[in-house]
């Protein structure tokens, strides 16, 4: 099959967090398994541009990726060069897979593909959730959805990554079909397991994600300010500098700054970093999937996540961690319980990697994606 992946950003634009990693991992695995995959993307890298060759396919870890210049530096990512190339070449492909919404690359690529008669599957990547509609440019989103978004999306197939996201899409749209398949996630070839004492003297917490208001760090800070158990919190990730400055001031207000370590963005040796902590904490207000949850469990580090994280049902079903409300009191209650019951942490550390690697087996996932593409192309 010939599959065209379209994403406004592609690695090494890691500033955009999990979606960038998911798209690249999927493309690499499809290519590795012998499928014809190409990627159209822009040079977007936050407010900067990636220093890459433009308009010519580049081999990026086995995948031919074409980067196009964008005219806008914001999240609209308008790139007429990408759209012109798509208009000319889209009929060469059996399926177009578009990632995320609310940017001009995605919306206009969807329009062009539909006009040219090529089937489209869209992965919302959290951009069509109720939280997304209710935050940031609310009126623009509602107007765009009413004028063109809904009609376009109803002509597409949707790919969701969790039951929670799938349910939300059924309430919002009437697409040609919805396929629910987990994200392709990067797992370590060898588990960098680190033994932890049965008695937890200091609870080592880790936040490993893009630093954004929807991630719930304010809730975590408020919870930590009220607990008396010994703990440390490592924060690994990047985000808007003004927001990070605000969070550091908030930590000082709560008088918890001495227990926090800010590492910035980490990609190299991230599995060793995760394995060196007792617990990954992700109290997000909205998360369609949560790649880092699987990465953490892949090395045996238990998780405390909010019920708004797409993988909450999976974690609960497999007893791989704890689920909290998006409230400081709930986070506090769980942290105190975990500290006083360290045996569960050790059980999860022992068995989680085997459960996760079986569920997120590369061959199994790629079979599901290919079956989706084949069904769409033949419809």
Q: What pTM does this model have?
A: 0.88
pLDDT by 10s per residue, the chain, length 379? 899 999 999 999 988 877 888 899 999 999 999 999 999 999 999 888 999 999 999 999 999 999 999 998 888 899 999 999 999 999 999 999 999 998 999 999 999 999 999 999 999 998 888 787 777 777 877 888 888 888 999 999 999 999 889 999 999 999 999 999 999 888 887 665 555 555 678 999 999 999 999 999 999 999 999 999 999 999 999 999 999 999 999 999 999 999 999 999 887 789 999 999 999 999 999 998 999 999 999 999 999 999 999 999 999 999 999 999 999 999 999 999 999 999 999 999 999 999 999 889 889 999 999 999 999 999 8
Instruction: Tell me which architecture the domain covering 203-359 has in CATH.
Output: 3-Layer(aba) Sandwich (3.40)
201: three-class secondary structure by DSSP: coil
Q: What are phi and psi of 151, to 5 degrees?
A: -65, -40
Q: What is the widest separation between alpha-carbon atoms in the chain? A: 63
* φ, ψ at 290 (rounded to 5°): 110, 70
Helix (H, G, I), strand (E, B) or coil at 65: strand
What CA–CA distances, in Å, run from 303 to 102, 231, 281, 318? 30, 15, 6, 12
Strands (E), 81-180: 95-99, 120-123, 157-160, 177-180
What's the pLDDT at 253?
Answer: 97
H/E segment holding residue 207: strand 203-208
Q: Say if CB 212 and CB 239 are below 8 A apart.
A: yes
Q: How many Å apart are CA 59 and CA 12, to the nearest integer?
A: 13
Question: How many residues belong to the chain?
Answer: 379
The residue among 12, 90, 3, 78 whose CA lies nearest residue 39 is 3
Q: 2-184+361-378 is classed in which CATH architecture?
A: 3-Layer(aba) Sandwich (3.40)
Element (H, E) at 206: strand 203-208
- What's the Cα-to-Cα distance from 279 to each of 37, 51, 229, 301, rounded to whole Å? 37, 36, 14, 6
Q: What is the CA radius of gyration of the chain?
A: 21
- What is the structure's pLDDT at 192? 55
Q: Which long-range contacts (CB under 8 A, 24 or more apart) does 240-246 make?
A: 240/211, 240/212, 243/211, 243/212, 243/213, 244/211
d(CA 259, CA 20): 31
pLDDT given for residue 114 in this prediction? 96
> What stretch(es) of the chain map to CATH 3.40.50.2000?
2-184+361-378, 203-359
Strand ranges for 14-141 from DSSP E = 36-42, 44-45, 48-49, 58-60, 63-68, 95-99, 120-123
- 8 A C-beta contact, residue 373 and residue 180: no
Query: What's the confidence (pLDDT) of residue 133?
Result: 78
What is the strand order of the sheet 95-99 is part of? 58-60, 63-68, 36-42, 2-7, 95-99, 120-123, 157-160, 177-180
Angle formed by the axes of helices 217-224 and 328-340, nearest 10°: 60
């Amino acid at each position: 099959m010939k599959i065209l992946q379209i994403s406004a950003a592609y690695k090494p634009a890691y500033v955009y967090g999990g979606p960038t990693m998911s798209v690249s991992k999927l493309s690499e695995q499809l290519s590795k398994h012998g499928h014809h995959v190409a990627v159209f993307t822009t040079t977007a890298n936050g407010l900067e541009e990636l220093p890459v060759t433009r308009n010519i396919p580049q081999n990026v870890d086995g995948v031919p990726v074409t980067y196009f210049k964008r005219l806008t530096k914001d999240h609209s990512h308008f790139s007429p060069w990408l759209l012109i190339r798509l208009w000319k070449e889209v009929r060469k492909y059996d399926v177009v897979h578009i990632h995320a919404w609310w940017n001009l690359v995605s919306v206009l690529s969807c329009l062009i593909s539909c006009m040219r008669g090529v089937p489209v599957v869209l992965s919302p990547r959290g951009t069509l959730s109720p939280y997304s509609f209710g935050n940031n440019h609310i009126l623009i989103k509602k107007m765009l959805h009413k004028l063109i978004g809904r009609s376009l999306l109803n002509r597409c197939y949707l790919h969701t990554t969790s039951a929670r996201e799938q349910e939300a899409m059924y309430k919002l749209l009437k697409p040609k079909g919805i396929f629910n398949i987990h994200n392709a996630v990067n797992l370590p070839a060898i588990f960098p397991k680190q033994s932890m004492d049965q008695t937890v003297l200091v609870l080592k917490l880790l936040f490993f994600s893009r630093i954004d208001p929807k991630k719930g760090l304010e809730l975590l800070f408020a919870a930590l300010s009220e607990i008396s158990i010994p703990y440390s919190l490592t924060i690994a990730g990047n985000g808007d500098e003004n927001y990070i400055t605000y969070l550091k001031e908030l930590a000082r207000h709560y008088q918890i700054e001495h227990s926090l370590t800010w590492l910035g963005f980490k990609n190299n040796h991230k599995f060793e970093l995760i394995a060196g902590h007792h617990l990954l904490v992700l109290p997000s207000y909205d998360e369609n999937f949560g790649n880092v949850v699987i990465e953490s469990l892949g090395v045996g580090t238990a998780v405390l996540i909010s019920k708004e994280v797409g993988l909450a049902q999976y974690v609960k079903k497999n007893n791989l961690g704890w689920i909290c409300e998006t409230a400081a009191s709930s986070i506090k209650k769980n942290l105190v319980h975990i500290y006083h019951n360290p045996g569960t942490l050790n059980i999860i550390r022992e068995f989680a990697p085997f459960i996760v690697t079986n569920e997120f087996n590369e061959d199994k996932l790629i079979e599901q994606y290919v079956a989706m593409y084949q069904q769409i192309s033949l419809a």
